Structure formats: structure tokens, C-alpha cells
């Protein structure tokens, strides 16, 4: 049996012509009109009548969706177009009648359109994430186990099973997360706009490498370096000592901690053999930081502290899953590990981590929907702690229950944005790790001079560098979709100010302006090409340059610059006023030098 389930704001139909000799008599059921109805388009297939449980299972699926979308009633609509393997008209009529009876016996208002007629219909779909779903009920298949591995935790502390949720109390972004993570609905939406923006700023696949490896042009490079420095600043802002380190990306699987950790990671390992050794390319900074910290002499007085590396990381993602700037085989992870005395201290530190992760995504004008991976025992033992975390978010989170004792962590939080095409995309993360300190031999000395294993928080406050940039570019795509001008934050813009001399006569003055801005730590260039001013301004707009300064006779005589601010229009200000405004806007963000020659005329054209 095939089901197409549409939550309709309104639906009406009318039987107009007999399609089969075995058509049901109308008996006053020529048509109908409904509001807030779940329309179940039903195709009965060969073999369906041989399974006594099939109707019960189909009714269960329909009623499950009915509860979740909040529809008032069900309309069963015979529909032969979902399959070419149709049951006989007699079997189809019997199964449809049984399905109607079972739904009615569950206390739900249900109607059924007549079988065997050509019908006209008019439908207005609500358009929320659960308003269009499909189901296939296979004869002989065991009943689905339900959604017992998932629940939803609300800010008030309620834990609600998936089957008991009402769509009306859930935010739209959260419904899209449920759709993808729990109901495994794949959203189709074409090619995302952010890919065009990647090309604009020089983020590309490297065709001469393995699949999933990127190259970064000059503009992309400065963006990557800026995010790396900002990740370091964010780590330092947590109010604990943080050490920045560097290390290797190749580890020997002969070492038990490395092998055990790799086995837990699963089948996405990049492996190679060198000098008869089996090596693994690291998939985060865990290996290097743990191997390093185990050699440190640590007192309880030193805790908590963090260790951060901008780690080149490798994961052997499947070819069909690779996505530029998002799902890669080689990427850069600003991986922070925070070493804590015990679980209680880790919980307290995690509030700072959790708050920082949300603070940073909200600076982009976005928000997360979260998945908390955990065991049922951790939920029961730490319900108040989890309620506080969710309360900080101010909206429900998805709980995903994992088997007891399987993982080295007790809590793993995934922070997802909903992208331009309505798909969840994980960006930030944190875990509370209670197993790796012992596995790698990391200890500290407690108040009684006894060795203890710390609890470790793993986090990427911004996500991987590429995924953070993905979030920035996806935000720009959604801004453009709303009819506004897309842009980058000033601190992340490859060129922050472009100076345009009106003609060669004013080139020296333009250079002076550029010098002063560069001395203030700004990324500035000068468009000295032999093009019209209008053309050069247009080219700056295409590059999304936030501030464009034109220097000509009027500006020299008045002492005021003509400044075009992206998204705000034209202004006049002195050079000192411009510098002050730029520095205010950049406060709290890193100053990374330019990766381009200052003069635009010296740059080659990219293909």
C-alpha cells in the first residue's frame, strides 16, 4: 500500500465520471468539502489483502501524522497513481472500507471518497514541514518499532515522546529538524545559492586531489585565517586558561588508545600504510592534544583549562554526501578540549560553552535547533542540568537516546541551522567525555595527592572553519531571498575598504587614504584601473566590498570622502570619521592582513 499524506487547509472534490465497471455506487457521496483535513491518497497494491496487519499498520501511520499536524479529520482518497502494481478493484474496495472502519473505531472523524470514479479536486496545502509526507506499507513486514529512540525536551522540563507531539506547539525550524532526523524525509530543492557565493570568494574543489578536498583562493584564504583567529578569541573569552598548540595529523594504530578511539569513530577513517605501519589521519585534534596533555604535570589547582588547535582533519565521507564548504574529506577544525576535575565541574563549564555557541550564531542573525545525544540513564540522573541547558536555548530540543556504555561521552550536543533549502546542517558541537582521559593515561593530582582522571569537554564553538563560513554564506543567501542585499560581516570581508581615485590625477591622494586605513589595521585596496568610476563601483558591489571610497576633486577640496556603505547608501565623512566607524564595527574581532596586492590592476583575472 502506498500513502501520500497532505495536511490541507481546504480540500474539495466531486465525482464526475465512472472510471471502472466496479465503481462504488455514489449513494449521496458525489462530493465533499473539508477544512484542516489530513487527506490520505491511498493506492492499494497486489498482495496487500494477504496481510492481516496491513490495515492496522496503515491506520497507525495515518493517525500518527494526524496527531502531529493537528488536523481535525481524515479523508481517505482512492488514488491509483502512486503505483503500477495495483490490486484488483474488489480487493482495493475491501481494504479501503476496512481502513475507514479502523480509523473510525479509534474515535477519529473520517470520510472516504468513492472508489472507481474520475474526480476533480481542489487542494490548498498548509506548507509546513510535515504537511507533505509519504509512506509505504509493505505486506509481511514487521510493524515499525516506532520512535522510541527519540523524544523532545521542552524548556519547562517536559519530556514528550515523538508519538504524542502536537505540531502546533513546535517552531517551524524544529519541525524541519524532526522531519529530517526522525522521519527521514528527504527535502528536494535544487542547487543552493551559497555555492555561487563560494565561487565568488574562491572556495573550490581541488580537481587534482582526492574527492572532498578544497582549495582556497586569496579571498577565501583571508576568510579562513580570520575565522581561525576568531575561534581562538572565542576560546579565550570563556574565562578559563587556554593553551594553543600544534601537532601532527598522522597517528599509528599500533597504539591502543589510538586504535580504540578509531574503532569508536567508525568507518570514515582515512588510513594509509607507510613503512609497514598502519596509520590513521586524525578526524579532529583529540589524538594530538590527548597525547600531549598526558605528559603534563597537572594539579587540581590548574583545572579547568583548555587546549586548542586549528587542526587539519580528515574524514572519508561518501562521494554522494560531499558538499562544498560543508561535508568534506579534509577540513580545518578549531578543536577545543577543556579538562575538568569531574562531571560536576564539566557541567558548570558546559553552561559557558553552550552560551558561547549560541551567542556566536546569533551574531550572524541565525539560531540553532539542537539534538542532544544521550543515554536514558543520563536523562533521568541529570534532568535538572539538561532542563537548564534547554532553558538557555528557550525552545525545545530533540533527544536522541543511545545505548548505555557504547560511547566515551555521556552527552553529545549537535547544533543545527536550517539552510536555505529547509535542511538541517550541523555547525557547532560539544561533548562531555568521561572515557578518553583514562584511555590515553591523562591524570591530575587531587587535593589528597591522589591521581585522578579528568572529565573532558570537546567543543568546536564555531564549528569547523568551513562550516562556519557555510553558515555565513547561507545567511547571505537567505538575505538575498528576502529581497535584501547580501553581505559579509566587515571583519570577515576579504577587502574591507576599496579606494577609487576619480582619475590618475588623484592617485597619490587615494594612496594616502589607503595608507592611513592600512595603518589602522584595515584590509584596504585601491582600484587604479583605467575604467570609469561607475564601472569600478559596480565591480566593488559585485565583490560585496562593505565600504567604497571615491577620491576626486570635490573630496580633496572639501576634506570629506564620498563613502558608499553596502546596504546603507552614500555618505560623506572625513578620513578620521571613517576610521573611527570602521574600528567600532571591528571591535572584538581579529585583524588579519590582506592576502592580495593593494592595486587591483596588478591582479590576474580568475577563470
Q: Among candidates 421, 419, 415, which has minimal Cα distance to 359?
A: 415
Res 607 pLDDT > 70: no
At 320-367, the pLDDT tens digits run 889 999 999 999 999 999 999 999 999 999 999 999 999 999 999 999
Res 185 pLDDT > 80: no
Res 270 pLDDT > 90: no
Res 517 pLDDT > 60: yes
| Mean pLDDT (the chain, rounded) | 93
pLDDT at 487: 97
- 216 phi, psi to nearest 5 deg: -125, 115
Res 177 pLDDT > 60: yes
Q: Among candidates 607, 605, 507, which has minimal Cα distance to 556?
A: 507
Predicted TM-score of the model (pTM): 0.80
pLDDT at 183: 84
pLDDT at 41: 96
The beta strands (E) that lie in 342-462 are given as: 369-374, 397-401, 409-418, 424-433, 444-445, 451-452, 455-460
CA distance linking residue 54 with residue 135, whole number of Å: 12
At 220-249, the pLDDT tens digits run 999 999 999 999 999 999 999 999 999 999
Mean pLDDT throughout 443-456? 97
For 487: left if phi > 0, alpha if psi spans -120 to 50, otherwise beta; the answer is beta
pLDDT at 189: 66
pLDDT at 30: 92
pLDDT at 86: 93
- In the chain, the domains with their CATH numbers are 2-144 (3.50.80.10), 194-473 (3.30.930.10), 490-602 (3.40.50.800)
For every residue of 92-160, DSSP letters joined together read HHHHHHHHHHHHHHTT--EEEPPTTEEEEEEEEE--STTSEEEEE--TTPPPP--STTEEEE-TTS-EE
Q: Please give the grid coordinates belonging to residue 13.
A: 472534490
CA distance linking residue 441 with residue 517, whole number of Å: 51
CA distance linking residue 477 with residue 465, whole number of Å: 18
pLDDT at 258: 87
CA distance linking residue 570 with residue 537, whole number of Å: 12
CA distance linking residue 274 with residue 394, whole number of Å: 51
pLDDT at 321: 87
More confident site: 510 or 47? 510
Q: What residues have CB less than 8 Å from 452, skipping those under 6 apart?
A: 300, 341, 342, 443, 444, 445, 446
Res 134 pLDDT > 60: yes
CA distance linking residue 473 with residue 493, whole number of Å: 12
What's the Cα-to-Cα distance from 532 to each of 289, 405, 506, 535, 539, rounded to whole Å?
54, 68, 14, 5, 11
What's the Cα-to-Cα distance from 292 to each of 11, 277, 297, rounded to whole Å?
65, 21, 11
Dihedral, CA of residue 549, residue 553, residue 559 and residue 563, to nearest 10: -20
**What burial letters (b/e) apply to 539-576, b meaning 16+ CB within 10 Å?**
bbeebbbbbbbbbbeebeeeebbbbbebeeeeeebebe
Amino acid at each position: 500500500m502506498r500513502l501520500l499524506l497532505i495536511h490541507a487547509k481546504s480540500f474539495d472534490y466531486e465525482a464526475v465520471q465512472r472510471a471502472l465497471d466496479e465503481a462504488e455506487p455514489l449513494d449521496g457521496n458525489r462530493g465533499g468539502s473539508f477544512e484542516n483535513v489530513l487527506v490520505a491518497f491511498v493506492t492499494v497494491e497486489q498482495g496487500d489483502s494477504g496481510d492481516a496487519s496491513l490495515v492496522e499498520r496503515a491506520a497507525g501511520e495515518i493517525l500518527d501524522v494526524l496527531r502531529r499536524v493537528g488536523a481535525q479529520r481524515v479523508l481517505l482518497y482512492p488514488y491509483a497513481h502512486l503505483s503500477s502494481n495495483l490490486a484488483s478493484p474488489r480487493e482495493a474496495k475491501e481494504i479501503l472500507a476496512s481502513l475507514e472502519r479502523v480509523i473510525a473505531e479509534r474515535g477519529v472523524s473520517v470520510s472516504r471518497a468513492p472508489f472507481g470514479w474520475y474526480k476533480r479536486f481542489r487542494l490548498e496545502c498548509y506548507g509546513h514541514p510535515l504537511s507533505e509526507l509519504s509512506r509505504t506499507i509493505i505486506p509481511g513486514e514487521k510493524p515499525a518499532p516506532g520512535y522510541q529512540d527519540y523524544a523532545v525536551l521542552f524548556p519547562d522540563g517536559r519530556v514528550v515522546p515523538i508519538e504524542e507531539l502536537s505540531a502546533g506547539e513546535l517552531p517551524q525550524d524544529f519541525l524541519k529538524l524532526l522531519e529530517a532526523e526522525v522521519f527521514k524525509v528527504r527535502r528536494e530543492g535544487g542547487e543552493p545559492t551559497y555555492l555561487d557565493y563560494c565561487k565568488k570568494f574562491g572556495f573550490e574543489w581541488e580537481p587534482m586531489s582526492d574527492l572532498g578536498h578544497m582549495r582556497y583562493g586569496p579571498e577565501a584564504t583571508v576568510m579562513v585565517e580570520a575565522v581561525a583567529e576568531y575561534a581562538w578569541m572565542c576560546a579565550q573569552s570563556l574565562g578559563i586558561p587556554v593553551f594553543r598548540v600544534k601537532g601532527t595529523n598522522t597517528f599509528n594504530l599500533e597504539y591502543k588508545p589510538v586504535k580504540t578511539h578509531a574503532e569508536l569513530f567508525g568507518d570514515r577513517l582515512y588510513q594509509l600504510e607507510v613503512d609497514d605501519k598502519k596509520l590513521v589521519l586524525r578526524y579532529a585534534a583529540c589524538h594530538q592534544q590527548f597525547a600531549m596533555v598526558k605528559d603534563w604535570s597537572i594539579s587540581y589547582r590548574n583545572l579547568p583549562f583548555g587546549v586548542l588547535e586549528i587542526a587539519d582533519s580528515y574524514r572519508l565521507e561518501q562521494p554522494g554526501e560531499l558538499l562544498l564548504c560543508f561535508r568534506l574529506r579534509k577540513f580545518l577544525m578549531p578543536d577545543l578540549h577543556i579538562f575538568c576535575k569531574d562531571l560536576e565541574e564539566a557541567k558548570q563549564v558546559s553552561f559557558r560553552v553552550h552560551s558561547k555557541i549560541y551567542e556566536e550564531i546569533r551574531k550572524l542573525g541565525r539560531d540553532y535547533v539542537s539534538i542532544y545525544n544521550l543515554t536514558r540513564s543520563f536523562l533521568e540522573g541529570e534532568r535538572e542540568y539538561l532542563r537548564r541547558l534547554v532553558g538557555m536555548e528557550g525552545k525545545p530540543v530533540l533527544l536522541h537516546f543511545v545505548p548505555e556504555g557504547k560511547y566515551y561521552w555521556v552527552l553529545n550536543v549537535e547544533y543545527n541551522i536550517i539552510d536555505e533549502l529547509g535542511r538541517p546542517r550541523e555547525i557547532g558541537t560539544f561533548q562531555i567525555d568521561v572515557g578518553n582521559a583514562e584511555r590515553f593515561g591523562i591524570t591530575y593530582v587531587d587535593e589528597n595527592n591522589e591521581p585522578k582522571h579528568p572529565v573532558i569537554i570537546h567543543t568546536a564553538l564555531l564549528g569547523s572553519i568551513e562550516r562556519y563560513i557555510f553558515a555565513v554564506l547561507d545567511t547571505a543567501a537567505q538575505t538575498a531571498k528576502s529581497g535584501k542585499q547580501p553581505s559579509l560581516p566587515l571583519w570577515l570581508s576579504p577587502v574591507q575598504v576599496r579606494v577609487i581615485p576619480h582619475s590618475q590625477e588623484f592617485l597619490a591622494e587615494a594612496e594616502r587614504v589607503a595608507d592611513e586605513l592600512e595603518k589602522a589595521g584595515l584590509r584596504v585596496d585601491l582600484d587604479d584601473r583605467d575604467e570609469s568610476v561607475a564601472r569600478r563601483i559596480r565591480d566593488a558591489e559585485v565583490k560585496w566590498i562593505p565600504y567604497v571610497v571615491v577620491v576626486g576633486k570635490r573630496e580633496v577640496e572639501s576634506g570629506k570622502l564620498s563613502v558608499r556603505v553596502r546596504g546603507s547608501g552614500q555618505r560623506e565623512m572625513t578620513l578620521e570619521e571613517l576610521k573611527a566607524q570602521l574600528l567600532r564595527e571591528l571591535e572584538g574581532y581579529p585583524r588579519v592582513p590582506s592576502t592580495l596586492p593593494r592595486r587591483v590592476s596588478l591582479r590576474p583575472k580568475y577563470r
